Every structure is written in C-alpha cells, then in structure tokens.
Amino acid sequence: MDVIKVSAKSRSTAVAGAIAGVVREHNRAEVQAIGAGAVNQAIKAAAIARGYLKEDGIDAIVIPCFTEVMIDGQERTALRLVVEPR
C-alpha cells in the first residue's frame, strides 16, 4: 500500500475519493502532507472521506502523527494521517 501524498494544490474531493478507495480495499490508508496548505487539504480530504465511508457503513477514524521524510537530501517534517475503521 502506497502513502497518499497531498500538496497544497490537491483537490480535497479527489484525495477523499482515493482515501476511501484505499480504506475499502486495504482497511487502512496513510496520507502524508508537508506544509500548511497541504495539511489543510489533507484534513479536509479526511473529513470528506469519512462521509464517503459512512455511506458504506464504515465509521472511520483519523490518527495524526509527525514523521520525518527525506526530500532532495534534506530531512523534512511531515504530517501523516492514518485513516482506518473504528
């Protein structure tokens, strides 16, 4: 399962659809965002995805945590959201 990477320019509804699809298929999705704009889109997408999954009878929770990632040889702090059924 790949991590869903979100940027500030990502459409929250498109990301939400991806999150819901991964949760349906793998029972868990991981979303990663770096920067305020990307985190904003990721949080909105997680909220929208909860609504999509609720229609299928899945009560999803979102667990946030920080993680370190390497980008162009530099270590950056990213926010990671784990979305899974309750």
pTM of the model: 0.91
Domain ranges of the chain: 4-85
Identify the pLDDT of residue 2.
85
pLDDT in tens, 15-58: 999 999 999 999 999 999 999 999 999 999 999 999 999 999 99
Contacts of residue 3, defined as CB under 8 A and 6 or more positions apart, other chains included, come to: 30, 31, 32, 80
The CATH number, out of the four listed (3.40.50.1100, 3.40.50.1820, 3.30.110.20, 3.30.460.80), of the domain defined by the range 4-85: 3.30.110.20
3-state helix, strand, coil in the chain (%, to 5): 40, 35, 25
